[in-house]
């Protein structure tokens, strides 16, 4: 099998999905770490310092290009795999007890992925685009904290963000352990540990992400 044949095959697509998925998992650790600076509750000073560093450090800026490349590749491969699986079985079985073979969220990755894509577009339009506009077209004194306060003072944005985080949680619960299995890390002793680590990781990351808009909306963080 040639290099091109591998990466266009079903196995190759899953391999790319697993690799890019783990890369995005590592990015979320950094992202939630920066976001958690807001819990210091010092009027956004600590958070703005961290956000300014992330948006101006040249190493981070280079990694950002890789992040977007990995994200786009993950989305494309995910959609291709979803369409491929759907085409392989256009008609559902007459009798199926799917719950015995897989969890509902593992069968719903296409829907969860689509919800996450919509959430990502909303998130980038609110914060990433705003930051870049300040850097390239403003006075380079962006106040990310004030922008967050503005967005999360509106109840429907808070609701949509929480829904997006819930979708992220189920996506991570399945994707974390699935990525390791796809990359060949599959052992009766270690697989249960990886699954449990994935659940803990998903809970911690998503609770921290969800707390920020909720606490800001209710003025607990000021």
pLDDT tens for each residue of 131-158: 766 655 555 566 889 989 999 999 999 9
The rounded Cα 19 to chain-centroid distance in angstroms is 14
Residue 164 contacts residue 123 (beta carbons within 8 Å): yes
The rounded Cα 18 to chain-centroid distance in angstroms is 14
How many Å is the maximal CA-CA distance in the chain? 63
pLDDT tens for each residue of 158-188: 999 999 999 899 888 888 888 888 777 777 7
pLDDT tens for each residue of 184-204: 777 778 888 999 999 999 999
Report the alpha-carbon distance of residue 196 to residue 207 in Å, rounded: 16
């Amino acid at each position: 099998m040639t290099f091109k044949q591998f990466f266009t095959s079903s196995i190759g697509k899953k391999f790319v999905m697993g690799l890019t998925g783990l890369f995005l998992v590592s990015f979320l650790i950094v992202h939630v770490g920066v976001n958690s600076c807001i819990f210091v509750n010092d009027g956004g000073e600590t958070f703005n310092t961290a956000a300014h560093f992330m948006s101006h450090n040249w190493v981070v800026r280079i990694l950002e290009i890789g992040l977007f490349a990995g994200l786009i590749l993950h989305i494309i491969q995910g959609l291709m795999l979803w369409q491929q699986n759907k085409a392989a079985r256009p008609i559902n079985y007459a009798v199926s007890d799917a719950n015995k073979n897989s969890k509902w969220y593992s069968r719903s990755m296409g829907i969860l992925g689509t919800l996450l894509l919509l959430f990502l577009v909303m998130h980038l339009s609110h914060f990433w685009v705003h930051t870049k506009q300040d850097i390239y077209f403003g006075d380079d004194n962006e106040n990310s904290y004030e922008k967050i306060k503005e967005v999360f003072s509106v109840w429907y944005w808070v609701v949509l963000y929480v829904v997006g985080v819930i979708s992220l949680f189920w996506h991570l619960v399945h994707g974390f352990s699935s990525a390791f299995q796809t990359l060949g890390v599959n052992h009766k002793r270690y697989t249960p540990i990886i699954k449990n680590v994935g659940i803990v990781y998903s809970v911690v990351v998503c609770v921290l992400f969800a707390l920020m808009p909720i606490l800001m909306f209710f003025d607990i963080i000021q």
